[in-house]
Amino acid sequence: MSCSLFEFCRLQELKTVRDFLFQNQSKESVEEKNQTAENELSWDTSDWESGWDNGDNKEEESASSTKVEEEPSGHSQPWLQDCVVSLSPCADLLVVAREQKAAFLSAKWRTDDSGREEMTLAVSWSGPLSTEEGESVSSVIAIPLASQKRSSTGRPDWTCIVVGFTSGYVRFYTESGVLLLAQLLHVDPVLRLKCRTYEIPRHPGVTEQHEELSILYPAALVTIDGFSLFQSLRACRNQVARAAAAGSDVVPPPPLAYKKWGLQEMDTIMDHSSAGVMTLCVFDQMKNASILGGFHASVKGSPPAMSQFVTVGSGPYAGFYYAVEGNSQPLLSHVALAVASKLTSALFNAASGWLGWNKNKNEEEAAQKQKPKVEPATPLGIRFGLPDSRRHGESICLSPCNTLAGVTDDFGRVTLLDLAKGVAIRMWKGYRDAQLGWLQVQEERGDREFSPSASLPRRHALFLIIYAPRRGILEVWAMQRGPRVGAFTVGKHCRLLYAGYHLMGVNSVTSQGWQLHTQQVCLLDPTTGALRTINIPFHLALSDKKNERARDMHLLKRLTAVLKSRDMDPDTLEREVKSVLLEIKHPAIKKQALESLLSNRNAPVSCLTNVTSALRDALKHQADADEVEASLLQLCSSQLKLLQLYIDIQQLQSAANAEDCPENDSLQGIEEELSRVGPTLQRYAQLSSKPLVSFAQDSPDTPLSAQAFLAQLECAEDGEVKVNRRSDAEWNQLGNFMFWGCLCGKSPTHKVCDTLQLAGISPQQLLSLLMSVWLQREKEVLQKPVETVRNLHTLLIALSNMDGAVEESWDPQSVSPWWQQVRFTCIQSHNAAAALLAAFVAHRAAKASITSRADSKLQSEWEAVSLELEQWLVCVRQLEDVLVLQTLMLVPSPQGTAGGAVVQCSIKTLLEGGTGGIADSVSKWVFRQNMAPEQLKEILQRKESEDAGDKKEQKVAGDGAEEKENSHEDADSTAELLLAVCQRFPDSLSPDLLFAHCCWEYVVQWNKDPEEGRFLFCAVEHLKVISSPHIQLGISTMMWSTFIVKRFSAAAFLMEKVGKAPKDRLCRRDVGIGDKAMTSFLGCCAQLLQILMEADSAMEEIPAPELSVEEVWSGAEGPASIAELALEQRGVHYPLVQHHWLLASLLHAAMSFSVKVKPLSLFDTKGKNAFFRDLTTIQLMPSGDMDPGLVSLRQEFLLRVLTGWVQAIDDPSCSPSAPASTSLPSDGPKADWWPSLCMDLGALLQVNPDILRRHLVCELYNQGLDLRAEEAILQVEDKDVLGSQLLVLTGQRLSYSLLHNQNQTQAAMELLARLPPTLCTWLKAMDPSELRCPLVSLSKTARLVSRLIEMLPENHAQYTLALHLLEAVDVLSLSTED
């Protein structure tokens, strides 16, 4: 435990700050400077600098050698030395200023590459600060201001930046560079700004110091009271914020009240320190009075309070000034002058406005720009000084306790001053351009416990920090005459930042309970941008060479270094560690050293044993003199016992011959059970033997180190050994160390158990370790199941025979806690195969134990019946079920499916999953397998119709089908596995229950990814195959209300707003899915509502099903299954469901054929209000005849849909989907059920269906689909109107053939000349451009005309025209044949 440097922050954008501050420097000057630097003599300082290198600063050297920025050679100069730098004591704001410009860097948190949060300082503001011509920044200080809120915990509210200029101005800024206050206090340049804040007095007699800001000029010192400054700055900041919010001008604040002292009788002043208010004792008061006033001087009764100021410079080297409190009043005359001048200027401006006097405005502005009046300073004579004519002081740094100060001079000396006595008490030489700082360290609570004055307040140690930039070294010196306790090699261009103050605005009341987060000393390295602070342990201040604790801490540090060295041979390591450990005197440190030794992984077991044994012997020799603590001696004894146990087990593992396990009669039953479940175990092992990526150190075969063994075991006072369970990995590793050799047959089982029993480990913990290693190494167990099961049986019997395992008073009719522990472990395990094998063994062992106990009480021919055995039977049956189910879960998913993690099953998870937990697991597997509902239904029907004869036929057929592909074989084996699972769970996996869970799983997955329309389609398909209408109704209702209706209403409102099928972007914005996905979604909605209507109609005919669970799984406690929730749903209102189905069908049609329509406008007010309501409620539905305008809109929409369908079926671009893709519910616009759907919609929308049928026939003929049209004609009722419509279409076809065809023949021209004039005129009036397919064969046209004559009655007005058309077509066809 020595001094250390650690980085707590890093500066960002240092290059940006440098370029901003030095951008006015020309490139020539930089090049000249570089050339000069190259020509200078470079001293070889490697010899004398290497003497400062030691083991403490190796890390710092490597840290400082890594640079954040690879800077060009032109900027490698120490640019930071030319800047004024100030760091807030809270380390959250850094100010770097040069000449007229400055940059503010504020704290920000970021995440590094390793995911760890780290603090950085980044540029938050940069810009010019000076306002007067020719002035530049001479001093800067950042003062954090405390928050006045009651909830504050010590963090600053904001930070004020105080800047002194060469013009004499002092200006106050916010963190964002906003000027709050500016005041000219003296006409000379500002030399130094310093601040003093409130400190909690450590002792009752210490005077409470007030806060103040002191400003040093070449011949004057200005002090501003901290309380008034705090209030003024808060008021200015609030006023600036209000003005910025209101957009008005900022009102100039009143000047600050201050005291100005004229420091006399000193030639040159370079720096100062304000030591605060002090009161002399009576003797010093009489001494000073006699020196100043002579022998007859009068002495006042009470000594006056005085403010002490210490200055450094020349003539004298250090000066001490004392200002008696109360002699000088704050200078406020210029405050009244400023107020009077404001009133005068205001009246004058008003009068000039009345009288028109605005000519001298420029003169007034010039007068206002003049500098304000500066008050004279109060003379203050020097009390005494340290005369040294040749020495010139450069800086002074006051200690936190205000009693010491460090002074640097131009001779390269650092002098320590005692301010109370006014004398120099120490001097260091060889520190040219040194930078100083102080660090006050509080005594740790642990150190205080061993101190003889433990009841007194904690002590404080003071250290002086000296940074010598010429040598690049940072030193730590103990005060007042202590040694150097730390040294670090750092860069030569660093800056030591020491604030010497904390938060302003704190007092004894507000600081109660605060935790001030401040850094006392920081080292800024501009090459790396690192901010580092120094950590000094308190014990380094204990400079007494006889201090045992400091010596012991040094020995502990030496021991740590020895243990870290990897190149030391074991004998040397043991010798070094033993000597160090025996030399340590303090019991607590000796205990810490022993614990660090026992936790070190480099030390071998023999070293641990020998060193601990030597320490125990030494402690026993000291026990006679009562100089040792009993706890340390007990620790040595317990650790030796554990080490011996570790060595014994390790030796037993390497034993050459293991014990021969005698054959037991009870193992015959286990072998029968193994042969029964053998095929399932083989399939399980085959599916679970996938290669996994793991680290070598996590392998169960990794040997357990002695340190890990000691960390998990603990010796109690009574000699028992307790195993501490920390993590599962460590627990399994310990179990492997103890029992895996026995399970493999490599270690003697009974010897291992006897050793563990003698050590005092409880059988219950040993049983837990055994079960954990058995379950963890399931793959190795399944490779040799018979051998490992036999060894497990031997181990289990040996553990159960230990004292304390099975209670002697246990009644076989009750449950044994011992076997209940085994059963509970198997119930919780996800390793189904290993848990089943362990249950087989434990069942046989428990049965043997119960039988042996019963034999002593009953006769041998009676079989003992026990509650314990009944529970084992149930557990074994459950584990067999779980094994088959887990084997099914391990079947890999086909490529290209959604996949997902394999569901891990155990008895506990299935019971906690409720009555639907098993079906839920299988439904997730069905989703991962992408199994079609028809395939699943076929497998379940095969299970129901399967009998013994069917099984034989399948086997015979299977023998002849060996030439099938592997994929078909895998599918068959998967189907057989699913059948086996369904046979083991006939009730929990009944078809309706499984289909219900599959439906719900698919709709949940669709809700996660709505773009996958096939998920919702599969959900609807699973819903269709549910046989019970009650479950169908409930699931449909839950799907609609939970997942569908919100998105469905959004789609309806979007189409109503757009008036057509919306584009993809609008669909994604409002509905959350693309346009294609929305089309399939609306089709699924229509199908879902159709299923809902059919289920509601069939509910009265079929009774509700009764759901049951297998007797073994009747103890399930958890959420209800989906089927149970479905049966609890209320009935729906059929007209409301039909109303929504109508809207869904209209929306689906509009999206499929891109029809322009506002779907909600096709309904009246009642119909609109009924939409998107709860389907179980009764709503006011539309009734009676609808408005003819709405009916015509509906008819127009349906006619457009039919037209779109006809165009789609004849469009070759709309090719059917590839066979590999899953067909969606609509089957696209080419589906054959669109016309029938339109007819059904027309009947519900009060549209005449015959109009739709006639329109369909005409559209089919128009498209050239005559065969489909002839089928549709059969359903038309009004043939007369249809005949008239088709007559026009026939005329258009003939008109195109005779008049508009480019390839007109001579026969056609002759035919046209022979036609009757009426027919010819009629044909010329036809417009064949309305035909979408004008090129139709004459045979089809002739067939159409013959149909026309059949449809038109003879008394029809156009019957004659039809006959002429028939004649013309016949002649034209004859001429074409010729």
> What is the Cα–Cα distance from 94 to 497, expressed in whole angstroms?
10
| Backbone angles phi and psi of 1297, in degrees to 5 | -70, -35
What is the tens place of the pLDDT at every residue in 589-630? 888 888 888 888 878 888 889 989 988 888 887 765 444 567
Decide if pLDDT at 1371 tops 80.
Answer: no
pLDDT-derived band at 1156, boundaries 50, 70, 90: very high
Please report the pLDDT score of residue 669 as a whole number. 67
- What is the reported pLDDT for 299? 82
Question: How far, in Å, CA of 1017 to CA of 1082, rounded?
Answer: 11
Task: Give the pLDDT band of residue 994 (cuts 50, 70, 90).
Answer: very high
Q: How does pLDDT run across 683-727, given as a tens digit for each residue?
A: 888 888 766 555 555 566 678 888 888 888 888 877 788 888 878
Asked if pLDDT for residue 260 goes beyond 80, the answer is: yes
Residue 601 pLDDT:
82
Mean pLDDT in residue range 542-570: 75
Q: What is the pLDDT of residue 153?
A: 64
Distance in angstroms (rounded) separating the CA atoms of residues 996 and 998? 5
Nearest to 902 by CA among 928, 932, 931: 928
Of 216-230, 367-381, 890-904, minimum mean pLDDT range: 890-904
Q: Which residues lie closer than 8 Å to 1161 by C-beta, 6 or more apart?
A: 1056, 1193
Q: How far apart are CA 1232 and CA 1216, in angstroms?
A: 13
How high is the pLDDT of residue 324? Answer: 87
Between 378-387, 579-588, 998-1007, the lowest mean confidence (pLDDT) is in 579-588
Give residue 361's pLDDT. 45
Identify the pLDDT of residue 342: 44
pLDDT value of residue 879:
93
Question: Cβ(141)–Cβ(171) under 8 Å?
Answer: no
Cα 154 → chain centroid: 29
Query: Average pLDDT, stretch 1261-1278?
Result: 87
Q: How confident is the model at residue 872 (pLDDT cuts 50, 70, 90)?
A: confident
By CB atoms closer than 10 A (0-12, 13-18, 19+), residue 870 is: exposed
**Burial per residue of 939-967, b for 16 or more beta-carbon CB atoms within 10 angstroms, e otherwise:** bbebbeeeeeeeeeeeeeeeeeeeeeeee
Average pLDDT over residues 201-210: 72
Residue 821 · residue 763 · CB < 8 Å: no
Write out pLDDT tens, residues 758-806. Answer: 888 889 999 999 999 999 988 998 888 888 999 999 999 998 888 877 7
**Spatial CA neighbour of 649 closest among 687, 595, 722, 703:** 703
Is the omega angle on the peptide bond into residue 316 within 30 degrees of 0, that is, cis?
yes
Whole-number pLDDT of residue 954: 40
Question: What digits encode the pLDDT tens for the residues 1212-1242?
Answer: 655 444 333 334 444 678 888 999 999 999 9
From the list 45, 54, 40, the residue with the least C-alpha distance to 3 is: 54
Is the Cβ–Cβ distance between 224 and 184 less than 8 Å?
no
- Quote the pLDDT of residue 1376: 61
Distance between CA atoms of residues 988 and 986, nearest Å: 6
Taking the CA atoms of residue 1052, residue 1054, residue 1060 and residue 1061 in that order, the dihedral angle to the nearest 10 degrees is -80
- State residue 1009's pLDDT score: 93
Residue 392, pLDDT above cutoff 80: yes
1055-1078 average pLDDT score: 93
Could you tell me which residue, 997 or 278, shows the higher pLDDT?
997
Q: Please, which pLDDT band fits residue 1083 given cuts at 50, 70 and 90?
A: very high
**Mean of pLDDT over the chain:** 82
Is a pLDDT exceeding 70 seen at residue 333?
A: no
Most confident of the ranges 167-171, 298-302, 748-752, 1178-1182: 167-171
Contact 649, 742 (CB under 8 A): no
> What 3-state DSSP class applies to 723?
strand
Q: Are 798 and 770 in contact (CB under 8 A)?
A: no
Q: What is the pLDDT of residues 639-673, one digit of tens each?
A: 899 899 989 988 888 765 545 545 454 566 678 88
Phi/psi-derived region of residue 958, left when phi > 0, alpha when psi is between -120 and 50, beta in every other case: alpha
The CA distance from 877 to 836, in Å, is 9
pTM: 0.61
901: confidence class by pLDDT, cuts 50, 70, 90 = low
Examine the pLDDT at 986 and tell me if it is beyond 80. yes
- The pLDDT of residue 362 is above 80: no
Instruction: Look at 46-50, 273-277, 569-573, 751-755 and tell me which has the smallest mean pLDDT.
Output: 46-50
Q: Give the H or E element holding residue 1046.
A: helix 1045-1058
Q: Check residue 1348 and give its pLDDT.
A: 82
Contacts of 180 (CB under 8 A, 6+ apart): 160, 172, 173, 174, 233, 236, 237, 240, 253
Amino acid at 1028: S
Structure token pair of residue 518:
């401040």
pLDDT at 984 over 60: yes
Asked if 1123 and 1104 count as a contact pair (C-beta separation under 8 A), the reply is: no
Say whether pLDDT at 26 is over 60.
Answer: no
Phi-psi domain of 1293 (left: phi exceeds 0; alpha: psi -120 through 50; beta: other) = alpha
Is 70 exceeded by the pLDDT of residue 75?
no
- The residue to which tokens 């258009």 are assigned: 1292
What is Dmax (Cα atoms) for the chain?
Answer: 161
**Is the confidence at residue 1091, as pLDDT, over 60?**
yes
- State the pLDDT at residue 456: 65
Question: Quick one: which of 230, 248, 228, 229 has its CA closest to 239?
Answer: 248
pLDDT of residue 377: 92
Rounded Cα gap, residues 452 and 547, in angstroms? 13
Share of the chain above pLDDT 90, in %: 38
Distance, in Å, from the CA atom of 684 to the CA atom of 832, rounded to the nearest integer, reads 9
The percent of the chain in helix, strand and coil, each rounded to the nearest 5, is 50, 15, 35
Lowest mean pLDDT segment, chosen from 39-53, 238-252, 538-552: 39-53
**39, amino acid identity:** N
Report the C-alpha gap between 168 and 138 in whole angstroms: 10
Mean predicted confidence (pLDDT) in 1152-1158: 93
Q: What pLDDT score was predicted for residue 1127?
A: 93
Alpha helices by DSSP H, 739-866: 741-744, 749-759, 763-776, 778-783, 785-800, 817-828, 832-855
From 22-26, 481-485, 531-535, 1253-1257, the region with the lowest mean pLDDT: 22-26
Give residue 475's identity as a one-letter amino acid code: E
Amino acid 1225: pLDDT: 46
**Secondary structure E strands in 702-757:** 713-715, 721-723
Closest CA to 426 of 413, 409, 437: 413
Residue with more model confidence, 810 or 96 = 96
Residue 403 burial (C-beta neighbours within 10 Å; 0-12, 13-18, 19+): middle
Give the Å distances, CA to CA, from 1097 to 818, 1092, 1094, 1143: 58, 9, 5, 20
